[in-house]
Amino acid sequence: MPDGSTVLVEGVTITDQAFTDGGGFIDDGSGGIAVLLTDGTFPRGVLLRVTGTIDDRYSQRTIRSDAAGIVVLGSATEPPALSSATGLVNEALEGRLVQLSGQVTSSLDTLTTAVALDLDDGSGPARVVVGDTTGVDASSWARGVRLTLIGVVGQRDSSGTGTAGYRVQPRDAADILAVEPPATPSPTPSPDPTSSPSPSPTSTSSASPSPSPSPGSSVVSIATARAAATGARLRIRGVVTAQSGLIDPASAVVQDLSGAILIRIGADVGTLARGELVELDGVRSTMSGMLSLRVSTAPTHLGTQSEPPAFRGGSGVLGESQEAWLVAVRGAVVTPVLRSTAGTVSFGLDDGSGPLRVSISPRSGIVTTAIIRGAWFELRGVLGQETTGREPERGYRLWPRAQADIVAVGGPPGSSSSPIPSASPSGGPVPVLTWPGSSASPTPAGRTTGQRAAGDVPQLSVSLPTASPSATTTAVADTQQATAGDLTRAGALLGGAFGMALIAGYLAWRGRRLRPDPDLPSEEATADDGPGDGVIGPVELVPRLAVVPLSTLGTHEEQRILPPI
């Protein structure tokens, strides 16, 4: 929104109002933002309603308000921290809680009211700023120390570019999850002077087996593995978020706190089950534009672990930064739902920020009969990519994994009964999202069935609790919208099917004679609507479909389709 706009926002406070000199932060589940008060206070962990004006403060998006503009609605649970690579702390995460894990790569800088350092997991450094009032003792955080921490992403860009100055700000000592001292390198053993290698047979010189890591190979973060050169041999540890066989028989996906990566593993080597914690040795490679790890040795199964929280992003915003991540997105089905000969179901989902391709594997076991164009869904899954080297930023798609990843939100526009099962515990009416005209937005608040605005058509906001659709009468009229009174008179003329046939024949004969219809408004009566409206003659007739609730007709009138005129 433009600077100076007045906004009303409700969200959970993830800090108090005095967290930084730029205010506190709230998060509504879709994003976070700073709130700066001229007076008044709010605590951490409550649901807060804020009314204020929006602008930037050192490029940090901020709502400016005061005591009169805030209302505490009650206590609330903070949203979970989003796992992020250090190199991906940017505008998309501003105002959100994130969790980072990496190595301190700078000296400790003393600021006016805080200390700061750089943390890097191999994907690029993130600035960590620890305020003096947090109670966190960072004095021992020297270079080489490994940290795992949670903090709020803020921005203080003094360069004027608007793209710098991002920092992660822990709130208290509980946000520091782990501090590991620098690893002490083991001394390198001297070679045994008495041993001499045996000459290798000449026949073996033609074979060059791939190097395998030793059992003591150190584990690197997935972000480090993604940043490694193609062909590098690495060992990673993570939780399986897409099981073997979902994408194809030889693929799976593993994620840790820093990122996620596609795993290429054959059935002869092993299989990966969703929710498993595994260690994998492999070689960095690429498949269809997607960074991957090619595994040729059996995985080490370490048990089970909960999946990381899904990253929520706009359908048109998800891209390389979230490749292979577990993500969640909500939107409308905006393309035909297609099924390939292999059984894969695909369609486009759009929340208004741009379409995202969704690809549902037949191996997922997901029932797709309720997915139709215009219906709204919230989907979870792994963000994949299939592209070529010439278009490295294209081909992103969502891979749902199970039926629970498909949640219906509403039916298509204008539907009187939704194919989606009711989400109401009492089995009551199912809300149906409809759009006026071609606009891709839900029914405006306060609009009910049968109400119309200028240039609009009747909209249905709630479907009936039974499978029987609401009765309607459909008519084709001229560009002057028919009124209820016109339809009432038309219904009285059409007393039955035989009468309708006679009228249709008469209208066809009259059309050939190019005579005006005495039952339609005359040229004089419709002059305000434009020249020639409602007149059959040299001016082109433009038919228009009008959907009229049956309640506007008399109680004894029948439903019928009026022929074109």
As a whole number of angstroms, the distance between CA 359 and CA 415 comes to 25
Picking from 238, 271, 304, the residue at the C-terminal end of a domain is 304
- Say if residue 522's pLDDT is above 70: no
Question: What pLDDT is attached to residue 414?
Answer: 61
As a whole number of angstroms, the distance between CA 166 and CA 301 comes to 37
Picking from 304, 333, 356, the residue at the C-terminal end of a domain is 304
As a whole number, mean pLDDT of residues 427-446 equals 38
Between the two ends of the chain, the Cα-to-Cα distance in Å is 47
Report the candidate in 121, 125, 151, 118 with the shortest Cα–Cα distance to residue 136.
151
Question: 512 with 542, same domain?
Answer: yes
As a whole number of angstroms, the distance between CA 445 and CA 442 comes to 9
For residue 105, count other CB atoms closer than 10 A to its CB: 14
Structure tokens at 392: 């490295």
- Residue 259's domain comprises 220-304
Question: What pLDDT is attached to residue 162?
Answer: 85
At residue 394, what is the residue type? R
* CA 562, chain centre distance (Å): 44
As a whole number of angstroms, the distance between CA 532 and CA 515 comes to 13
Residue 466 lies in a domain: no
Question: 228 with 282, same domain?
Answer: yes
135: left (phi over 0), alpha (psi -120 to 50) or beta: left
Q: CA geometry: angle at 253 spanning 252 and 257, to 5°?
A: 160
Question: 392 with 320, same domain?
Answer: yes
Picking from 359, 389, 410, the residue at the C-terminal end of a domain is 410
Residue 81 lies in a domain: no
Residue 338 lies in a domain: yes
Question: 283 with 237, same domain?
Answer: yes
As a whole number, mean pLDDT of residues 449-464 equals 39
Question: 345 with 391, same domain?
Answer: yes
DSSP class of 356 = E
As a whole number of angstroms, the distance between CA 263 and CA 272 comes to 9
- Say if residue 131's pLDDT is above 90: yes
- In order, the DSSP letters of 13-57 are ESS-TTSBTTBEEEE-SS-EEEEEESS----SSEEEEEEEEEEEE
Q: Are 93 and 61 in contact (CB under 8 A)?
A: no
As a whole number of angstroms, the distance between CA 410 and CA 401 comes to 21
Question: 117 with 172, same domain?
Answer: yes
Residue 13 lies in a domain: yes
Q: Give the bridge partners for 301, in sequence order.
A: 278
Sequence-distant (≥ 6) Cβ neighbours of residue 126 within 8 angstroms: 86, 87, 89, 100, 102, 118, 119, 120, 166, 167, 168
Over residues 187-218, the pLDDT tens digits come to 555 554 444 444 444 444 343 344 444 444 68
Over residues 269-310, the pLDDT tens digits come to 899 999 999 999 999 998 888 999 999 899 999 888 888 889
- Say if residue 406's pLDDT is above 90: yes
Question: 315 with 402, same domain?
Answer: yes
Question: What pLDDT is attached to residue 189?
Answer: 52
Over residues 231-274, the pLDDT tens digits come to 999 999 999 999 999 998 899 999 998 899 999 998 888 999 99
- Say if residue 518's pLDDT is above 80: no
Residue 446 lies in a domain: no
As a whole number, mean pLDDT of residues 301-326 equals 89
Question: What pLDDT is attached to residue 495?
Answer: 52
- In order, the DSSP letters of 221-269 are -HHHHHHSPTT-EEEEEEEEEE-TTSSSTTEEEEE-SS-EEEEEE-TTT
As a whole number of angstroms, the distance between CA 75 and CA 337 comes to 42
Question: 275 with 323, same domain?
Answer: no
Q: CB under 8 Å, gap of 24 or more: what pairs does 67-74 form?
A: 67/37, 67/39, 67/40, 67/41, 68/40, 70/35, 70/37, 70/40, 70/42, 72/42, 72/43, 72/46, 72/47, 72/48, 73/10, 73/46, 73/47, 73/48, 73/49, 74/46, 74/47
Q: How many CA atoms lie within 13 A of 59 on its CB side?
A: 18
Domains contained in the chain, number: 5
Question: 151 with 228, same domain?
Answer: no
- Say if residue 5's pLDDT is above 80: yes
Structure tokens at 124: 């690029």
Question: 68 with 101, same domain?
Answer: no
Residue 563 lies in a domain: no
As a whole number, mean pLDDT of residues 373-381 equals 95
Question: 127 with 162, same domain?
Answer: yes
Torsion of CA 272, 251, 289, 330, to 10 degrees: -70
Report the candidate in 285, 300, 275 with the shortest Cα–Cα distance to residue 213.
300
Question: What pLDDT is attached to residue 515?
Answer: 45
As a whole number of angstroms, the distance between CA 16 and CA 22 comes to 11
Question: 404 with 324, same domain?
Answer: yes
Question: What pLDDT is attached to residue 535?
Answer: 36
At residue 88, what is the residue type? L
294: domain CATH number?
2.40.50.200
Handedness of CA 91, 92, 93, 96 (dihedral sign): positive
As a whole number, mean pLDDT of residues 317-335 equals 92
121: domain CATH number?
2.40.50.140
Question: What pLDDT is attached to residue 63?
Answer: 97
Sequence-distant (≥ 6) Cβ neighbours of residue 130 within 8 angstroms: 114, 115, 116, 136, 138, 169, 170
As a whole number of angstroms, the distance between CA 405 and CA 308 comes to 14
Tell me which H or E stretch contains 148.
Answer: strand 146-155
At residue 507, what is the residue type? L
Structure tokens at 222: 């997935």
As a whole number, mean pLDDT of residues 216-228 equals 84
Over residues 42-65, the pLDDT tens digits come to 999 999 999 999 999 999 999 999
- In order, the DSSP letters of 51-91 are EEEEEEETTEEEEEE-GGGEEEEEE-PPPPPEE--GGG-SG
pLDDT band at 89 (very low <50, low <70, confident <90, very high): very high
Residue 432 lies in a domain: no
At residue 7, what is the residue type? V
Question: What pLDDT is attached to residue 299?
Answer: 93
Kindly tell me the burial class for residue 13, based on how many C-beta atoms sit within 10 Å of its own C-beta (0-12, 13-18, 19 or more). Answer: buried
